[in-house]
Structure 1
Protein backbone atom coordinates (compact mmCIF):
# COMPACT_ATOMS: atom_id res chain seq x y z
CA UNK A 1 0.00 0.00 0.00
CA UNK A 2 1.01 3.62 -0.51
CA UNK A 3 2.85 5.37 2.31
CA UNK A 4 0.41 7.68 4.05
CA UNK A 5 1.65 11.30 4.24
CA UNK A 6 0.31 11.75 7.78
CA UNK A 7 2.02 8.54 8.88
CA UNK A 8 5.30 9.72 7.40
CA UNK A 9 5.03 13.13 9.06
CA UNK A 10 4.28 11.41 12.36
CA UNK A 11 7.48 9.37 12.02
CA UNK A 12 9.47 12.55 11.33
CA UNK A 13 7.92 14.12 14.44
CA UNK A 14 8.87 11.07 16.53
CA UNK A 15 12.42 11.18 15.17
CA UNK A 16 12.86 14.83 16.14
CA UNK A 17 11.32 14.24 19.56
CA UNK A 18 13.48 11.21 20.35
CA UNK A 19 16.75 12.55 18.94
CA UNK A 20 16.42 16.25 19.75
CA UNK A 21 17.57 17.05 16.22
CA UNK A 22 16.37 20.45 14.96
CA UNK A 23 15.38 19.29 11.48
CA UNK A 24 13.76 16.12 10.22
CA UNK A 25 12.35 15.14 6.87
CA UNK A 26 11.42 12.07 4.88
CA UNK A 27 11.02 10.79 1.35
CA UNK A 28 8.63 8.29 -0.18
CA UNK A 29 10.29 5.57 -2.23
CA UNK A 30 8.38 4.35 -5.26
CA UNK A 31 8.89 1.35 -7.55
CA UNK A 32 11.38 3.34 -9.64
CA UNK A 33 14.94 3.95 -8.37
CA UNK A 34 13.91 7.35 -7.01
CA UNK A 35 12.22 8.86 -4.01
CA UNK A 36 10.56 12.22 -3.43
CA UNK A 37 11.00 14.28 -0.26
CA UNK A 38 7.54 15.11 1.09
CA UNK A 39 7.50 15.46 4.88
CA UNK A 40 9.38 18.20 6.78
CA UNK A 41 9.59 19.52 10.33
CA UNK A 42 11.96 22.22 11.52
CA UNK A 43 12.82 23.30 7.97
CA UNK A 44 13.63 26.94 7.24
CA UNK A 45 12.51 27.04 3.62
CA UNK A 46 11.33 24.95 0.70
CA UNK A 47 14.66 24.07 -0.94
CA UNK A 48 14.23 20.35 -0.21
CA UNK A 49 10.45 20.20 -0.66
CA UNK A 50 9.51 17.80 -3.45
CA UNK A 51 13.15 17.04 -4.30
CA UNK A 52 13.50 13.86 -6.36
CA UNK A 53 16.44 11.77 -5.12
CA UNK A 54 17.88 9.03 -7.30
CA UNK A 55 19.09 5.78 -5.76
CA UNK A 56 22.83 5.85 -5.17
CA UNK A 57 23.14 9.64 -5.32
CA UNK A 58 23.56 11.84 -2.27
CA UNK A 59 23.11 10.64 1.30
CA UNK A 60 19.49 9.49 1.04
CA UNK A 61 20.05 7.97 -2.37
CA UNK A 62 22.89 5.90 -0.95
CA UNK A 63 20.68 4.73 1.95
CA UNK A 64 17.99 3.87 -0.61
CA UNK A 65 20.41 1.85 -2.75
CA UNK A 66 22.20 0.07 0.11
CA UNK A 67 19.06 -0.42 2.27
CA UNK A 68 21.02 0.58 5.36
CA UNK A 69 21.56 3.79 7.38
CA UNK A 70 24.12 6.27 6.11
CA UNK A 71 25.63 9.10 8.16
CA UNK A 72 27.49 12.18 6.96
CA UNK A 73 29.11 14.27 9.69
CA UNK A 74 30.15 17.40 7.88
CA UNK A 75 27.93 16.71 4.89
CA UNK A 76 29.55 19.13 2.45
CA UNK A 77 33.05 17.73 2.93
CA UNK A 78 32.03 14.05 3.17
CA UNK A 79 33.93 11.82 0.75
CA UNK A 80 31.66 8.77 1.10
CA UNK A 81 28.69 10.24 -0.77
CA UNK A 82 28.09 12.03 -4.04
CA UNK A 83 27.21 15.72 -3.86
CA UNK A 84 24.39 15.96 -6.38
CA UNK A 85 22.09 17.71 -3.90
CA UNK A 86 24.51 20.04 -2.14
CA UNK A 87 22.72 23.24 -3.11
CA UNK A 88 19.33 22.52 -1.44
CA UNK A 89 21.09 21.02 1.61
CA UNK A 90 23.24 24.16 1.88
CA UNK A 91 20.17 26.40 1.52
CA UNK A 92 18.56 24.58 4.44
CA UNK A 93 21.71 25.15 6.52
CA UNK A 94 22.27 21.48 7.34
CA UNK A 95 25.76 20.44 8.46
CA UNK A 96 25.43 16.77 9.49
CA UNK A 97 22.75 14.27 8.44
CA UNK A 98 21.65 10.69 9.04
CA UNK A 99 19.46 8.92 6.47
CA UNK A 100 17.66 5.71 7.47
CA UNK A 101 15.75 3.52 5.02
CA UNK A 102 12.38 2.17 6.13
CA UNK A 103 12.32 -1.40 4.86
CA UNK A 104 9.13 -3.47 4.79
CA UNK A 105 9.09 -6.92 3.19
CA UNK A 106 12.62 -6.35 1.87
CA UNK A 107 11.63 -3.22 -0.02
CA UNK A 108 12.54 0.35 0.89
CA UNK A 109 9.28 2.24 1.33
CA UNK A 110 10.65 5.52 2.69
CA UNK A 111 13.79 7.19 4.01
CA UNK A 112 13.88 9.18 7.25
CA UNK A 113 16.42 11.97 7.70
CA UNK A 114 17.59 13.84 10.78
CA UNK A 115 19.95 16.78 10.61
CA UNK A 116 22.09 19.20 12.62
CA UNK A 117 22.72 22.78 11.61
CA UNK A 118 25.73 23.44 13.81
CA UNK A 119 29.15 21.84 13.37
CA UNK A 120 28.67 19.17 16.02
CA UNK A 121 28.72 15.51 14.99
CA UNK A 122 25.84 13.11 15.31
CA UNK A 123 26.39 10.93 18.38
CA UNK A 124 25.83 7.18 18.48
CA UNK A 125 22.97 7.78 20.91
CA UNK A 126 21.27 10.16 18.50
CA UNK A 127 21.68 7.78 15.58
CA UNK A 128 20.28 4.89 17.65
CA UNK A 129 17.24 6.97 18.56
CA UNK A 130 16.71 7.80 14.88
CA UNK A 131 16.95 4.10 14.05
CA UNK A 132 14.23 3.35 16.59
CA UNK A 133 11.93 5.88 14.92
CA UNK A 134 12.48 4.15 11.57
CA UNK A 135 11.88 0.70 13.07
CA UNK A 136 8.62 1.91 14.65
CA UNK A 137 7.48 3.14 11.24
CA UNK A 138 8.44 -0.19 9.67
CA UNK A 139 6.36 -2.07 12.22
CA UNK A 140 3.35 0.19 11.71
CA UNK A 141 3.57 -0.12 7.93
CA UNK A 142 3.93 -3.89 8.11
CA UNK A 143 0.80 -4.11 10.25
CA UNK A 144 -1.09 -1.80 7.86
CA UNK A 145 -0.02 -3.96 4.90
CA UNK A 146 -1.26 -7.06 6.68
CA UNK A 147 -4.52 -5.32 7.56
CA UNK A 148 -5.11 -4.41 3.92
CA UNK A 149 -4.37 -7.99 2.91
CA UNK A 150 -6.84 -9.39 5.43
CA UNK A 151 -9.51 -6.84 4.49
CA UNK A 152 -9.15 -7.82 0.85
CA UNK A 153 -9.75 -11.42 1.91
CA UNK A 154 -12.69 -10.52 4.15
CA UNK A 155 -14.76 -8.50 1.66
CA UNK A 156 -15.73 -11.30 -0.73
CA UNK A 157 -16.17 -13.71 2.18
CA UNK A 158 -18.59 -11.32 3.90
CA UNK A 159 -20.79 -11.31 0.80
CA UNK A 160 -21.20 -15.10 0.95
CA UNK A 161 -21.06 -15.80 4.67
CA UNK A 162 -24.36 -17.71 4.51
CA UNK A 163 -22.32 -20.53 2.94
CA UNK A 164 -20.44 -22.69 5.41
CA UNK A 165 -16.94 -22.52 3.89
CA UNK A 166 -16.84 -18.71 3.37
CA UNK A 167 -18.32 -18.19 6.83
CA UNK A 168 -15.57 -20.25 8.48
CA UNK A 169 -12.88 -18.46 6.48
CA UNK A 170 -14.44 -15.10 7.38
CA UNK A 171 -14.23 -16.06 11.04
CA UNK A 172 -10.55 -16.89 10.63
CA UNK A 173 -9.84 -13.59 8.86
CA UNK A 174 -11.83 -11.69 11.49
CA UNK A 175 -9.79 -13.28 14.25
CA UNK A 176 -6.59 -12.37 12.44
CA UNK A 177 -7.79 -8.76 12.12
CA UNK A 178 -8.54 -8.63 15.85
CA UNK A 179 -5.06 -10.00 16.56
CA UNK A 180 -3.54 -7.30 14.34
CA UNK A 181 -5.65 -4.68 16.09
CA UNK A 182 -4.14 -5.85 19.36
CA UNK A 183 -0.66 -5.01 18.02
CA UNK A 184 -1.54 -1.49 16.91
CA UNK A 185 -0.27 1.36 19.07
CA UNK A 186 -1.63 4.11 16.83
CA UNK A 187 -5.06 5.09 18.18
CA UNK A 188 -6.38 6.25 14.80
CA UNK A 189 -5.44 2.96 13.11
CA UNK A 190 -6.90 1.00 16.02
CA UNK A 191 -10.19 2.93 15.70
CA UNK A 192 -10.23 2.20 11.97
CA UNK A 193 -9.73 -1.52 12.58
CA UNK A 194 -12.46 -1.58 15.21
CA UNK A 195 -14.85 0.11 12.77
CA UNK A 196 -14.01 -2.38 10.01
CA UNK A 197 -14.54 -5.32 12.34
CA UNK A 198 -17.91 -3.90 13.41
CA UNK A 199 -18.90 -3.62 9.76
CA UNK A 200 -18.11 -7.31 9.33
CA UNK A 201 -20.29 -8.32 12.30
CA UNK A 202 -22.97 -5.67 12.81
CA UNK A 203 -21.70 -5.20 16.37
CA UNK A 204 -22.81 -1.56 16.45
CA UNK A 205 -26.36 -2.77 17.19
CA UNK A 206 -25.41 -5.43 19.73
CA UNK A 207 -27.08 -5.27 23.15
CA UNK A 208 -23.76 -6.11 24.85
CA UNK A 209 -20.63 -4.08 24.24
CA UNK A 210 -17.17 -5.53 24.87
CA UNK A 211 -14.05 -3.41 25.32
CA UNK A 212 -11.63 -3.71 22.37
CA UNK A 213 -9.19 -5.97 24.24
CA UNK A 214 -12.04 -8.16 25.49
CA UNK A 215 -13.28 -8.56 21.93
CA UNK A 216 -9.74 -9.29 20.71
CA UNK A 217 -9.51 -12.04 23.31
CA UNK A 218 -12.88 -13.65 22.55
CA UNK A 219 -12.18 -13.51 18.80
CA UNK A 220 -8.95 -15.46 19.31
CA UNK A 221 -10.65 -17.90 21.69
CA UNK A 222 -13.04 -18.54 18.79
CA UNK A 223 -10.04 -19.63 16.70
CA UNK A 224 -9.18 -22.24 19.34
CA UNK A 225 -6.15 -20.46 20.80
CA UNK A 226 -5.10 -21.01 24.41
CA UNK A 227 -4.57 -18.12 26.82
CA UNK A 228 -0.81 -18.43 26.34
CA UNK A 229 -1.16 -18.33 22.55
CA UNK A 230 -3.50 -15.34 22.74
CA UNK A 231 -1.05 -13.56 25.05
CA UNK A 232 1.72 -14.10 22.50
CA UNK A 233 -0.41 -12.79 19.62
CA UNK A 234 -1.54 -9.69 21.52
CA UNK A 235 1.72 -8.93 23.33
CA UNK A 236 0.13 -9.43 26.77
CA UNK A 237 0.69 -11.73 29.73
CA UNK A 238 -1.42 -14.85 30.12
CA UNK A 239 -2.85 -13.44 33.35
CA UNK A 240 -3.95 -10.28 31.56
CA UNK A 241 -5.63 -12.35 28.85
CA UNK A 242 -7.36 -14.38 31.56
CA UNK A 243 -8.64 -11.17 33.13
CA UNK A 244 -9.99 -9.86 29.80
CA UNK A 245 -11.66 -13.18 29.10
CA UNK A 246 -13.21 -13.27 32.57
CA UNK A 247 -14.67 -9.77 32.09
CA UNK A 248 -15.98 -10.69 28.65
CA UNK A 249 -17.61 -13.87 29.96
CA UNK A 250 -19.33 -11.89 32.71
CA UNK A 251 -20.74 -9.39 30.19
CA UNK A 252 -21.83 -12.20 27.89
CA UNK A 253 -23.38 -14.18 30.76
CA UNK A 254 -21.23 -17.15 29.77
CA UNK A 255 -19.93 -19.95 31.97
CA UNK A 256 -17.32 -21.34 29.57
CA UNK A 257 -15.05 -20.31 26.73
CA UNK A 258 -17.27 -22.07 24.20
CA UNK A 259 -20.36 -20.40 25.61
CA UNK A 260 -18.66 -17.00 25.44
CA UNK A 261 -17.97 -17.51 21.72
CA UNK A 262 -21.51 -18.80 21.09
CA UNK A 263 -23.13 -15.86 22.90
CA UNK A 264 -20.83 -13.36 21.17
CA UNK A 265 -21.83 -14.75 17.77
CA UNK A 266 -25.52 -14.73 18.66
CA UNK A 267 -25.19 -11.05 19.62
CA UNK A 268 -23.38 -10.18 16.38
CA UNK A 269 -20.09 -9.43 18.11
CA UNK A 270 -18.33 -12.16 16.12
CA UNK A 271 -19.07 -13.36 12.58
Structure 2
Protein backbone atom coordinates (compact mmCIF):
# COMPACT_ATOMS: atom_id res chain seq x y z
CA UNK A 1 0.00 0.00 0.00
CA UNK A 2 1.42 3.40 -0.97
CA UNK A 3 1.10 6.60 1.05
CA UNK A 4 1.35 10.21 -0.04
CA UNK A 5 4.44 10.72 2.13
CA UNK A 6 6.47 8.11 0.22
CA UNK A 7 9.11 9.92 -1.91
CA UNK A 8 8.53 9.52 -5.64
CA UNK A 9 11.00 10.56 -8.32
CA UNK A 10 9.73 11.48 -11.80
CA UNK A 11 13.19 10.75 -13.21
CA UNK A 12 13.31 7.94 -15.76
CA UNK A 13 15.13 6.83 -18.92
CA UNK A 14 14.34 10.18 -20.54
CA UNK A 15 16.75 11.80 -18.06
CA UNK A 16 19.67 9.72 -19.30
CA UNK A 17 21.74 10.41 -22.41
CA UNK A 18 21.30 8.26 -25.51
CA UNK A 19 23.59 5.26 -25.59
CA UNK A 20 26.87 6.16 -27.28
CA UNK A 21 28.92 3.09 -28.20
CA UNK A 22 31.97 5.28 -28.77
CA UNK A 23 31.94 6.04 -25.04
CA UNK A 24 31.81 2.33 -24.13
CA UNK A 25 34.51 -0.27 -23.60
CA UNK A 26 34.66 -3.43 -25.72
CA UNK A 27 32.85 -6.67 -24.97
CA UNK A 28 35.97 -8.35 -23.58
CA UNK A 29 36.45 -5.53 -21.06
CA UNK A 30 32.78 -5.69 -20.06
CA UNK A 31 33.06 -9.44 -19.44
CA UNK A 32 36.24 -8.91 -17.41
CA UNK A 33 34.58 -6.22 -15.30
CA UNK A 34 31.49 -8.30 -14.63
CA UNK A 35 33.57 -11.37 -13.79
CA UNK A 36 35.76 -9.38 -11.42
CA UNK A 37 32.67 -7.89 -9.77
CA UNK A 38 31.09 -11.32 -9.29
CA UNK A 39 34.32 -12.60 -7.77
CA UNK A 40 34.52 -9.65 -5.40
CA UNK A 41 30.94 -10.20 -4.27
CA UNK A 42 31.77 -13.80 -3.41
CA UNK A 43 34.88 -12.64 -1.54
CA UNK A 44 32.70 -10.10 0.25
CA UNK A 45 30.39 -12.85 1.49
CA UNK A 46 33.41 -14.52 3.10
CA UNK A 47 34.82 -11.23 4.35
CA UNK A 48 31.72 -10.31 6.35
CA UNK A 49 31.99 -13.61 8.20
CA UNK A 50 35.45 -12.74 9.53
CA UNK A 51 34.96 -9.00 10.10
CA UNK A 52 33.70 -9.56 13.64
CA UNK A 53 37.01 -11.24 14.52
CA UNK A 54 39.06 -8.21 13.47
CA UNK A 55 39.90 -5.16 15.54
CA UNK A 56 37.84 -2.07 14.67
CA UNK A 57 40.71 -0.35 12.82
CA UNK A 58 41.46 -3.44 10.72
CA UNK A 59 37.76 -3.99 10.09
CA UNK A 60 37.41 -0.48 8.67
CA UNK A 61 40.51 -0.87 6.51
CA UNK A 62 39.28 -4.19 5.12
CA UNK A 63 35.85 -2.78 4.25
CA UNK A 64 37.30 0.37 2.69
CA UNK A 65 39.72 -1.69 0.58
CA UNK A 66 36.94 -4.03 -0.60
CA UNK A 67 34.61 -1.22 -1.70
CA UNK A 68 37.46 0.69 -3.37
CA UNK A 69 38.45 -2.47 -5.26
CA UNK A 70 34.83 -2.95 -6.36
CA UNK A 71 34.82 0.49 -7.95
CA UNK A 72 38.10 -0.25 -9.70
CA UNK A 73 36.78 -3.58 -10.96
CA UNK A 74 33.94 -1.70 -12.65
CA UNK A 75 36.37 0.79 -14.17
CA UNK A 76 35.19 3.68 -12.00
CA UNK A 77 37.52 6.41 -10.78
CA UNK A 78 36.78 7.79 -7.31
CA UNK A 79 37.60 11.39 -6.35
CA UNK A 80 37.13 12.58 -2.76
CA UNK A 81 37.21 16.27 -1.88
CA UNK A 82 37.54 17.05 1.82
CA UNK A 83 37.82 14.80 4.85
CA UNK A 84 35.37 13.54 7.44
CA UNK A 85 36.35 14.06 11.08
CA UNK A 86 36.58 10.87 13.18
CA UNK A 87 33.73 9.70 15.38
CA UNK A 88 30.06 8.96 14.96
CA UNK A 89 27.89 11.02 12.64
CA UNK A 90 24.81 11.10 10.47
CA UNK A 91 26.00 11.34 6.86
CA UNK A 92 23.36 12.64 4.44
CA UNK A 93 23.75 12.71 0.67
CA UNK A 94 21.88 13.02 -2.59
CA UNK A 95 20.90 9.69 -4.17
CA UNK A 96 21.59 8.83 -7.81
CA UNK A 97 22.62 5.18 -7.97
CA UNK A 98 23.47 2.03 -6.02
CA UNK A 99 27.05 3.22 -6.63
CA UNK A 100 26.41 5.94 -4.04
CA UNK A 101 26.53 3.33 -1.28
CA UNK A 102 29.78 1.86 -2.59
CA UNK A 103 31.47 5.27 -2.83
CA UNK A 104 30.32 6.39 0.62
CA UNK A 105 31.74 3.22 2.18
CA UNK A 106 35.15 4.19 0.80
CA UNK A 107 34.83 7.63 2.38
CA UNK A 108 34.06 6.01 5.74
CA UNK A 109 32.64 2.56 6.55
CA UNK A 110 29.11 3.25 7.71
CA UNK A 111 25.78 1.62 8.38
CA UNK A 112 23.40 2.60 5.62
CA UNK A 113 19.71 3.41 5.88
CA UNK A 114 17.95 1.49 3.11
CA UNK A 115 14.51 0.43 1.94
CA UNK A 116 13.53 -3.14 2.81
CA UNK A 117 13.56 -4.09 -0.88
CA UNK A 118 17.38 -4.04 -0.77
CA UNK A 119 17.26 -7.25 1.25
CA UNK A 120 16.09 -9.13 -1.86
CA UNK A 121 18.98 -7.98 -4.09
CA UNK A 122 21.18 -10.91 -5.19
CA UNK A 123 24.31 -11.14 -2.99
CA UNK A 124 24.28 -7.39 -2.33
CA UNK A 125 21.25 -7.81 -0.09
CA UNK A 126 23.01 -10.42 1.99
CA UNK A 127 26.13 -8.28 2.21
CA UNK A 128 24.11 -5.24 3.23
CA UNK A 129 22.52 -7.16 6.07
CA UNK A 130 25.87 -8.47 7.28
CA UNK A 131 27.41 -5.01 7.54
CA UNK A 132 24.54 -3.71 9.68
CA UNK A 133 22.24 -1.97 7.22
CA UNK A 134 19.24 -0.35 8.93
CA UNK A 135 16.09 -1.04 6.93
CA UNK A 136 13.06 1.20 6.54
CA UNK A 137 9.64 -0.08 5.46
CA UNK A 138 8.41 2.85 3.38
CA UNK A 139 4.94 1.29 2.99
CA UNK A 140 4.24 1.52 6.74
CA UNK A 141 3.95 5.09 7.96
CA UNK A 142 3.41 3.76 11.50
CA UNK A 143 6.95 2.30 11.44
CA UNK A 144 8.62 5.70 11.01
CA UNK A 145 8.83 6.71 14.72
CA UNK A 146 10.43 3.37 15.59
CA UNK A 147 12.91 3.82 12.74
CA UNK A 148 13.87 7.27 14.03
CA UNK A 149 14.40 5.86 17.52
CA UNK A 150 16.54 3.02 16.15
CA UNK A 151 18.73 5.44 14.21
CA UNK A 152 19.06 7.74 17.24
CA UNK A 153 20.13 4.79 19.42
CA UNK A 154 22.80 3.78 16.90
CA UNK A 155 24.10 7.35 16.72
CA UNK A 156 24.26 7.59 20.52
CA UNK A 157 26.40 4.45 20.48
CA UNK A 158 28.89 6.21 18.20
CA UNK A 159 27.88 4.67 14.87
CA UNK A 160 28.28 6.37 11.51
CA UNK A 161 24.91 6.20 9.75
CA UNK A 162 24.53 7.01 6.06
CA UNK A 163 21.16 8.17 4.74
CA UNK A 164 19.61 9.51 1.56
CA UNK A 165 16.95 12.02 2.69
CA UNK A 166 15.49 12.24 -0.83
CA UNK A 167 14.17 8.73 -0.14
CA UNK A 168 14.69 7.51 -3.71
CA UNK A 169 17.02 7.98 -6.67
CA UNK A 170 17.05 11.04 -8.93
CA UNK A 171 19.05 11.59 -12.10
CA UNK A 172 21.56 14.04 -10.60
CA UNK A 173 20.57 16.96 -12.82
CA UNK A 174 17.26 17.10 -10.96
CA UNK A 175 17.02 16.36 -7.25
CA UNK A 176 14.39 15.70 -4.62
CA UNK A 177 13.38 17.37 -1.40
CA UNK A 178 15.31 16.24 1.67
CA UNK A 179 12.88 14.72 4.19
CA UNK A 180 13.49 15.85 7.80
CA UNK A 181 12.83 12.64 9.78
CA UNK A 182 16.40 11.35 9.77
CA UNK A 183 17.66 14.74 11.00
CA UNK A 184 15.40 14.38 14.02
CA UNK A 185 17.25 11.19 14.93
CA UNK A 186 20.56 13.08 14.89
CA UNK A 187 19.08 15.91 16.98
CA UNK A 188 17.73 13.43 19.55
CA UNK A 189 21.12 11.70 19.74
CA UNK A 190 23.16 14.92 19.81
CA UNK A 191 25.12 13.53 16.85
CA UNK A 192 27.19 15.36 14.27
CA UNK A 193 25.45 15.93 10.90
CA UNK A 194 27.65 15.68 7.83
CA UNK A 195 26.31 16.44 4.33
CA UNK A 196 28.12 14.92 1.36
CA UNK A 197 27.50 15.68 -2.32
CA UNK A 198 27.78 12.98 -5.00
CA UNK A 199 28.58 13.82 -8.62
CA UNK A 200 29.13 11.59 -11.66
CA UNK A 201 31.35 12.64 -14.57
CA UNK A 202 32.38 11.28 -17.94
CA UNK A 203 35.95 10.60 -19.06
CA UNK A 204 35.98 14.15 -20.43
CA UNK A 205 35.04 15.56 -17.02
CA UNK A 206 31.48 16.49 -17.99
CA UNK A 207 28.55 15.88 -15.60
CA UNK A 208 26.54 12.81 -16.60
CA UNK A 209 23.28 11.13 -15.64
CA UNK A 210 24.26 7.89 -17.39
CA UNK A 211 24.97 6.04 -14.12
CA UNK A 212 21.63 6.92 -12.51
CA UNK A 213 19.50 3.97 -11.34
CA UNK A 214 16.04 5.06 -12.41
CA UNK A 215 12.53 3.99 -13.34
CA UNK A 216 11.87 0.33 -14.07
CA UNK A 217 15.54 -0.59 -14.57
CA UNK A 218 16.63 -3.66 -12.61
CA UNK A 219 19.84 -3.87 -10.62
CA UNK A 220 21.27 -6.20 -13.26
CA UNK A 221 20.40 -3.66 -16.01
CA UNK A 222 22.14 -0.90 -14.07
CA UNK A 223 25.27 -2.93 -13.30
CA UNK A 224 25.59 -3.87 -16.98
CA UNK A 225 25.15 -0.24 -18.09
CA UNK A 226 27.84 0.91 -15.64
CA UNK A 227 30.23 -1.88 -16.68
CA UNK A 228 30.02 -0.66 -20.30
CA UNK A 229 31.01 2.94 -19.51
CA UNK A 230 34.45 4.22 -20.36
CA UNK A 231 36.12 6.54 -17.85
CA UNK A 232 33.20 7.00 -15.45
CA UNK A 233 34.14 8.98 -12.34
CA UNK A 234 32.25 9.46 -9.10
CA UNK A 235 33.10 12.46 -6.95
CA UNK A 236 32.38 12.82 -3.24
CA UNK A 237 32.45 16.32 -1.78
CA UNK A 238 32.48 16.56 2.02
CA UNK A 239 30.50 19.70 2.84
CA UNK A 240 30.56 21.80 6.04
CA UNK A 241 28.99 20.20 9.10
CA UNK A 242 25.41 21.17 9.97
CA UNK A 243 24.56 22.60 13.37
CA UNK A 244 21.03 23.25 14.63
CA UNK A 245 17.98 21.83 16.35
CA UNK A 246 15.21 22.38 13.80
CA UNK A 247 14.94 19.26 11.63
CA UNK A 248 13.15 21.00 8.77
CA UNK A 249 15.66 23.82 8.64
CA UNK A 250 18.53 21.31 8.77
CA UNK A 251 17.02 19.29 5.94
CA UNK A 252 16.60 22.42 3.84
CA UNK A 253 20.14 23.61 4.51
CA UNK A 254 21.60 20.21 3.64
CA UNK A 255 19.58 20.11 0.43
CA UNK A 256 20.71 23.58 -0.64
CA UNK A 257 24.36 22.77 0.11
CA UNK A 258 24.24 19.58 -1.95
CA UNK A 259 22.43 21.29 -4.84
CA UNK A 260 25.03 24.06 -4.88
CA UNK A 261 27.82 21.48 -5.10
CA UNK A 262 26.20 19.26 -7.73
CA UNK A 263 24.58 21.98 -9.82
CA UNK A 264 21.25 20.16 -9.58
CA UNK A 265 17.84 21.76 -9.06
CA UNK A 266 15.03 20.53 -6.85
CA UNK A 267 12.18 19.19 -8.98
CA UNK A 268 12.15 17.84 -12.48
CA UNK A 269 12.51 21.01 -14.49
CA UNK A 270 10.34 22.44 -17.22
CA UNK A 271 8.06 19.95 -19.03
CA UNK A 272 9.32 21.24 -22.39
CA UNK A 273 12.88 20.37 -21.39
CA UNK A 274 11.77 16.88 -20.36
CA UNK A 275 10.03 16.36 -23.73
CA UNK A 276 13.16 17.53 -25.54
CA UNK A 277 15.28 14.99 -23.68
CA UNK A 278 12.79 12.28 -24.56
CA UNK A 279 12.92 13.18 -28.26
CA UNK A 280 16.73 13.17 -28.22
CA UNK A 281 16.81 9.78 -26.49
CA UNK A 282 14.41 8.38 -29.08
Q: Normalised by the shorter chain, which TM-score bucket?
A: under 0.3
**Largest Rg, 1 or 2:** 1
The higher-RCO structure (CA 8 Å, 6+ apart) is: 2
- Judging by fraction of residues, say which structure has more helix: 1
